[in-house]
Structures are given as structure tokens and as C-alpha cells.
Amino acid sequence: MSVSESYASSTNPTLNSKSPLLPSSAANGAQTPKGTLVPTNSVTTKEGLTVRTRIDPTLTVDDVVRQLCINLQIKEAPSNYALRDDNGELVTNDNLRKKVKSKANLRLVNAPAREARELAQKLSSMTDEDSNLRLTTFTLAKYIREEQFAQEFLMHDGLNELVDVIFNTHGNILCYALTSVQNLMDFDYGWATLSDSFILKVVQILSSPSSLINVCRPATAILKKLVEADPEAAPNVQPSTSTASPVAEPGSVYRYGFQVVFEQIRKEPKMLETVVNRLGSADTAMAQYSMMLINSLLAHASEARWEEFIIELERLNVRKAVARLMTSHIFEDLTSCVLDFQANLVRVTYRKMMTDINLNNQVHDYMLRQIWQRSKLEETVDADGQVVKWRQLGFDDEDVVEQFGDVGVLGVECMLRFAKHCDPEFDKLVLEQLSRPADRQCPIGKASNEVVELLSEHWSIFAPGYSTSTTFQPFFLDFYRVHTLATQFFLRMWGESGAATGDFTRVVALVRSQIKVALRSENVREWHEVEQDFLGSEYRAVRDRQMKELELEDDLLSKVPIRNLRAKLYKESYEFVRQQRIQCLLQGGWFVNALPQSAIASREPPRRPSRPWRFMRLDNGLKYIHYVDSAVKFPVRNGLEDLPERLDVSQISEIATGTCAAPPNVGLSHGNGNDLPPPTNSLIASPLSFSLISAHEGSLADLIAPDPSRWADWTDGLNMLRRDGGHVASKETAGFVQALTELGLKIKLLDLTGDGVEIPSGLVAGPPPTNTDFFFSDLV
């Protein structure tokens, strides 16, 4: 390789704003005049010639390439060429300044459009046995994320050729081909022609336990993207006032969604089971991809297939698989995904609770029949000639749909699980209550439903999409098991206290108190401790503690109308805090460029980066994070002019926290104007650190916030922006939501309690009118 070093005087007329290159005379070895500026970049041509040149960073890349072609006497059109660095990254107008300042070694190569044409032609002419197919697909996976390349590749029917490769190859070639499709799907266009047969092929790849991990990762990511490509998620879609779902525009990639993907999943019964099993994979990335796919399916499940999908997941015991991840040694890498699952499970639980029992639904009818059969009772007739069935199980009347009205399908599932857990003693438990005097019988059905409501209140299952838990809740994932323990506790307290029919509310208060105690700090407690709290606590101790709690609490807050009001205010507070967090992102802020986990694990002494500070700001379209790296902090103007670099928000699949350390000799702020001393050479992950993780590229940024408030603003703000539904990561944000909720509740109650208005625990509707000869009068 020949190397030509070039130098020139700053007064040389060839070094103006229109010429990025040095004169050829200098390149040929001319003497360097006094005061010459040393060239900052080297450029290597396809022929292996390397020249040193100084590039004006204010020019466009097209101008730089044009001047290079002129100075190097390249006869082909400059549009056929582009610049890349040693890592193959394309030099663009957005990163040219960065490449020049870092003195990156550049290569003059084929332009993306030219490269795309050649690769598309190669794919069309190659056979499955062609030895060059592996290299071609590998190159394709690397370049297809560049927009110029992707557009040209699609114009030359490259996608169809790529799909053919996926149908007919295996191993690494299949991996590269799938990765190419995955990277192409980062664009909101170009892949609307992917057919149902292609989706089924991807499903079949995932269904096979023998599929290689490097093949399953991109296949899982493709399905996730297809699930999220729902017509309702299309940009600029206005909410429809009709019940009809929005229809994708012709050529739009937003034409898939859950319904389309799930129809193909149903053709491979083992597919979901295999994905759930991969949650236990030793490969952290594979477990993460599988968790993300499950989360997307949960978040986008369609009305028509929702129940079927949830039943299948429950059958596969996905809760247990995720709970296992919470205690796994690799859980730190999956924290965000697990918290997302937790939030999605809140949505599922809420929806079950709000779904009324339908006796014409085979699943609902089956569960009710199972409960009745396990009681081993026979229907009887009372003195009025009315059939007595459900009243024998502790309900108020025979309208079973009405009796489960407040807890819906969730209540039926919980009672059935309770009956199964008590087998073969459930029938004896029922007979024991029926053998008592009528006023001393514990209404098992009502007790079960009440426990469901108490647990839903404890875990803040107020509405879908509003979960503020910042820690793992393994006991929530075992909702049915906790319900069984709490229901057994209810029955025991009823017996030990000698309760009668009128004492039902008093026993409910005891159970509510015990639930708070037994489920406290669940992210650090063991299951056997919960069991001991429910099964071993004595009535007198529980009663004494509950009486002390009553002295500090207002009984008014436990009434159903107040609980419903709190749920409404909770949603409003959550949305208010969400908007506040996003506003903080729009304003921007300074962060420290941190050292990632790999640097922490390395034994080499850390070095201070040349530009340790980064200012980041979200654009008004909420699509990109614009930033600039700097050696020192400086006043950043409004807008994006001072922020030349950017990150695509859609590429962020996870916001990992506590992942990186501060570099040496960089002081961090206390948040009160004082600076912390620079860290020592021993690297420790900062609690204020976070990383923006991409599904394909690893960490996009490793940062440390100057104070807890800014850390909460950005970690929670970015989570709340995610398309697949995010979660709250900081206790500060969760605390704000709770504080606003309680404050709003107290303000609302002042209007009532100040006037001495009595708030009933519930309202009883009167009998319906006997005819339609009535009207509603206007309120004055």
C-alpha cells in the first residue's frame, strides 16, 4: 500500500471552503512551508492508495467526495462513491464533523446505492449452494440499515430475493438473511409485501427447538416488529369515533398487527411454548428477545383473540418463567423487560376483572361447572320453591353473573383455583359451613370475591397502562396462589372470631390489614414468609394490630366510592407526571459520558475521555434525541442547532439502570450546586447511571445523570415514550403519582366531609319501572 502524506500552507488558495483536499504538489513530496497545518484525516481508495488530507467539516459529504474524485483523478461520476470509516460506518452530513474531529481513517468506497444494486443482482443470480452467498448476506445485513442503500435495494426487487434466501437456507446464511430483514424493518416503509407465508416461515423457525440461537434472535425481533405494525400504530392516525378498526393505507407497513401474526402462530402449536422456554436460555440476549416478543403480544392482543392467547400463556405458566428470571443471576440485563411484563400483567388482570361472566361462553361456563362439581353439592329448593344452588356456596342469590359482577372472570378463575387447591377437602369445607347456623356460616363465594378486590387494591390494579411499581413483584405474578392463602386466612379469622353475618365487613378489615403485612417488601421476601404470615398468625395479634391501624386511618377511605375516586385520580396523576417527564426531555440536560460494564470488568486503568460531557434534547416530534459531546459544559441554545448528532428513539428497546461508572477526573454534582470529588481508579457502577440499549447494536449511550431528579426524568420519560408500553423505573416518579393522587383525593373529599355528607359503602338500585310511561326531569 502506497502512502502519500500531504502538507500545505494555510494561505494556499486551494484550501478554501470549496476544496477539502490538499494540492497534488504537496502530496508528491513538496517541502512543507513554515506554519503548515498538519492534515487531519487519511483516505484510502479502492485501489489501496492512501492520501492524507484536511477536510473542511462545514462542507457536505457530496462536496467532499466530489473534490476527492477530482484530486485523485477518478473518472467515474462522484455519485458512485461514498466515504466510510474503518468500522464500515457510512460518513453522512450528520456525522462528518465527528469523523473529522476524531481524525478517523476513511475509505473511498462504492456509494450505498451502487452497492445495493450490485448485491441485489448477486442475490438474484446466486444459488443456495453458492459459496459467496454467505459473504453477500453478511454484507447485506450490515448495509441495509442505511436509507440510501435500502431504497435502491428495494427498487431492484431485493426484498423478494432476500425472502427466497430465508425459505431455502439454514445456519449462518439464514441468520444473516433474517438480520437483514430485521434491520430493514427499522424503516417505516419497504416491507409491506411480507406475506403470511413469510410470517409462518418465521414462526416455524422459532417453533423448532433445534434452531440456532443466532437464527432465533432476528426471527424473534421480526415477529415483534410485525406485531407492533398495527394500523392503529400508524403515524398521524386519528382516533376513530366508530367501532371499526382503522385500515392501513395502500402500501403502508402498518397492515399487520397481533391478529395477523397470531393467526400464523396458531398453525404451530409449539411456537409459544418454545418462546416461553427460551426465557430460561443461558444466552441473555435470547431471553431478552423472547421477553420482548411476549410483552408486545400482551400489549397488542386483539379483542377477537385476547382470551385465547391469555389462556394459552397461562397454560404455559409464563408467570413462573418470569418469576424465575427475577431471581436469576442474569436478571440485571433483563430488569426493564421484566418490569414491562409486570405492567402488562396489570393490564391483563384489570381486563379479566372488568370482563363480565357470559354463560354462553364455553370457557366461562366450564369454570363455573367445575366449581360446582368440586363442591359435590346437590341443588335444593327453598320454601318459596326457588332453586338453591349458588347460595349454598355463600353467594347472596342465584344470579351468578351478578354475584361476580365486581370481579368478573378474574373472580371465577380465583375461586376455581381455590377449589382446586383445597381438593380433596373443598367439599368438606363447604359442608362444614353449611352445617353451622345460617347466621354463623362464612359465605365462601363472597369471601373469595372480596379477597380478589383487596388484592387488586393492594397492587393498584386501577386501570390498564398505569403501573408505577419500580421493583419486582414476584407475589403479584403468583396472584392466584396469594388469593388462596388470603381466602384461607379469611375463613380462619371468621371461625376464630366467632363472626356472624353482620360481621362480614369487620373480617374484611382484618384481611386487608394482614395482606398489607404479608405482602410487604415483596421484592426481598421469601415465599415461605408469606405463607407463615397467612397461615400462622393468631386472631388476637391480628386484631390488636388492626385496631392500632384504625386509630391512624380514616374508615372513609376504604369505602367503595372513595376507592373508585382514587382510581380515577390515579390515572389523571399518572398522565400528568408522564407529560411533565416528556417536557423535561424536550428541555434537555447535561450528562456524563460514562464507562460501560465492559470497562468496569476490565482490569486496565480507566482513562478520562476527551469529551466527558454530553447534552441531550428530545425533538418536538418525539422521534430523535439530539446531542453533542463536549470537553466542557457550555450554554446550549434553544432548538437543535447546537446538537449535531442524534439517536433514533425507536431504536431504544430498553433503558437499563445502574449499568456504568463515571470516568476518572470528572466531578459529578450533588444536585445542590456542590460537586462530588472525582472518582478513584476503582470503577463502581453509579446509581444515577443508565444505558440506552438497542436490540441490534447493544448500548447506544452510557450516561450518568447529575442528580436523582434528572435521572428519574430521563429514565421514566424514555420508558413512557416506548411503543410497546413502558414502566416507571424511579421511586421519585412513583412517589409523585401517589402524592398527587392522595392530594387530589383529599381536596375532593373536602367538598363532602366539610358539609357532613354521608358516603354509603354501596348503592342499591331499586326495582325497574313497570312500564315506559315516565320521563327524566331536568335538574334545577
Average pLDDT across the chain, whole number: 82
How many domains, in total, are found in the chain? 4
- Residue 640 sits in the same domain as residue 681: yes
Going by DSSP bridges, is the β-strand pair 689-694/387-388 parallel, antiparallel, or unpaired? unpaired
> Rounded CA gap, 482 and 661, in Å?
39
> Within 10 A of 691 (CB to CB), how many other CB atoms are there?
21
Please name the residues in contact with 428: beta carbons below 8 A apart, sequence gap of 6 or more. none
- Residue 695 sits in the same domain as residue 677: yes
pLDDT for position 451: 96
Q: Which of 50, 59, 57 is nearest to 86 (CA)?
A: 50
Q: Is residue 682 predicted with pLDDT exceeding 60?
A: no
Q: What is the mean pLDDT of residues 417-421?
A: 92
Q: Is residue 677 predicted with pLDDT exceeding 60?
A: no
C-alpha cell at 661: 461508572
pLDDT for position 777: 67
Q: What is the mean pLDDT of residues 457-486?
A: 82
pLDDT for position 204: 95
Please report how the helices 158-168 and 171-184 are oriented relative to each other, as an axis angle in degrees rounded to 10: 140
CB 197 within 8 A of CB 263: no
C-alpha cell at 267: 398453525
**Boundary (domain end) residue, out of 110, 130, 152:** 110
Going by DSSP bridges, is the β-strand pair 50-53/41-44 parallel, antiparallel, or unpaired? antiparallel
Please name the residues in contact with 316: beta carbons below 8 A apart, sequence gap of 6 or more. 272, 273, 276
SS3 category, 626: strand
Higher pLDDT, 130 or 276: 276
Is residue 739 included in any domain, yes or no?
no
C-alpha cell at 281: 436460555
- Residue 102 sits in the same domain as residue 117: no
> Rounded CA gap, 105 and 85, in Å?
6
pLDDT for position 691: 87
C-alpha cell at 540: 388476637
Q: How far is CA 94 from CA 58, 590, 643, in A?
A: 11, 21, 10
Render pLDDT for 246-291 as a digit per residue (tens, 0 to 9): 666 777 899 999 999 999 999 998 999 999 999 988 888 888 899 9
Confidence of residue 674 (pLDDT cuts 50, 70, 90): very low
Render pLDDT for 187-214 as a digit per residue (tens, 0 to 9): 889 999 999 999 999 999 999 888 899 9
For the chain, how many residues are written? Answer: 780
- Residue 508 sits in the same domain as residue 636: no
Q: What is the mean pLDDT of residues 60-88?
A: 89
> Rounded CA gap, 355 and 458, in Å?
20
Confidence of residue 333 (pLDDT cuts 50, 70, 90): low
Is residue 767 included in any domain, yes or no?
no
SS3 category, 397: coil
**Boundary (domain end) residue, out of 553, 580, 605:** 553
Is residue 327 included in any domain, yes or no?
yes
- Residue 56 sits in the same domain as residue 102: yes
CB 614 within 8 A of CB 591: yes
Q: Which domain holds residue 310?
A: 113-232+254-352
Which domain CATH number covers 700?
2.30.29.30
Confidence of residue 444 (pLDDT cuts 50, 70, 90): very high
Confidence of residue 25 (pLDDT cuts 50, 70, 90): very low
Q: Is residue 655 predicted with pLDDT exceeding 70?
A: yes
Is residue 776 included in any domain, yes or no?
no
Q: Is residue 760 predicted with pLDDT exceeding 80?
A: no
CB 429 within 8 A of CB 491: yes
Q: Is residue 484 predicted with pLDDT exceeding 50?
A: yes
Which domain CATH number covers 79?
3.10.20.90
Is residue 394 included in any domain, yes or no?
yes
pLDDT for position 337: 85
Q: What is the mean pLDDT of residues 530-546?
A: 88
> Rounded CA gap, 219 and 290, in Å?
10
> Rounded CA gap, 224 and 466, in Å?
22
Render pLDDT for 706-754 as a digit per residue (tens, 0 to 9): 988 899 888 888 887 776 556 676 777 778 888 888 888 878 777 655 4
Confidence of residue 598 (pLDDT cuts 50, 70, 90): low
Q: Is residue 679 predicted with pLDDT exceeding 70?
A: no
Is residue 665 included in any domain, yes or no?
yes
Instruction: Cis check for the bond before 596: say yes or no (omega within 30 of 0).
Output: no
SS3 category, 333: helix
- Residue 104 sits in the same domain as residue 122: no
C-alpha cell at 370: 367445575
**Boundary (domain end) residue, out of 73, 95, 110:** 110
Confidence of residue 642 (pLDDT cuts 50, 70, 90): confident
pLDDT for position 762: 55
Higher pLDDT, 201 or 242: 201
Please name the residues in contact with 364: beta carbons below 8 A apart, sequence gap of 6 or more. 357, 358, 409, 412
pLDDT for position 645: 86
- Residue 150 sits in the same domain as residue 49: no
- Residue 386 sits in the same domain as residue 509: yes
Q: What is the mean pLDDT of residues 544-571?
A: 70
Render pLDDT for 284-309 as a digit per residue (tens, 0 to 9): 888 889 999 999 999 899 888 999 99
- Residue 99 sits in the same domain as residue 167: no
Is residue 692 included in any domain, yes or no?
yes
pLDDT for position 453: 93
> Within 10 A of 231 (CB to CB), how many other CB atoms are there?
16
CB 507 within 8 A of CB 454: no
Ordered alpha helix ranges (H), 144-244: 147-155, 158-168, 171-184, 196-207, 213-228
**What is 637-687 written as a DSSP string?**
PSSSTT--EEEEGGGEEEEEES--BPPTT---B-SSS-BPPPP-SS----T
SS3 category, 762: coil
Render pLDDT for 97-114 as a digit per residue (tens, 0 to 9): 888 888 889 999 899 999
The dihedral region occupied by 330, where left means phi > 0, alpha psi between -120 and 50, and beta the remainder, is: alpha
> Rounded CA gap, 712 and 714, in Å?
6
Q: What backbone phi and psi angles, to 5 degrees, belong to 256?
A: -105, -105
Which domain CATH number covers 160?
1.25.10.10
Please name the residues in contact with 672: beta carbons below 8 A apart, sequence gap of 6 or more. none
Percent of the chain scored above 90 by pLDDT?
A: 35
- Residue 306 sits in the same domain as residue 392: no
- Residue 295 sits in the same domain as residue 161: yes
Please name the residues in contact with 239: beta carbons below 8 A apart, sequence gap of 6 or more. none
- Residue 366 sits in the same domain as residue 298: no
pLDDT for position 672: 40
> Rounded CA gap, 363 and 409, in Å?
10
C-alpha cell at 353: 376483572
SS3 category, 166: helix
Is residue 156 included in any domain, yes or no?
yes
Q: What is the mean pLDDT of residues 53-79?
A: 88
Burial of residue 734 (number of CB atoms within 10 Å: 0-12, 13-18, 19+):
buried
Cell 421469601 -> residue:
526
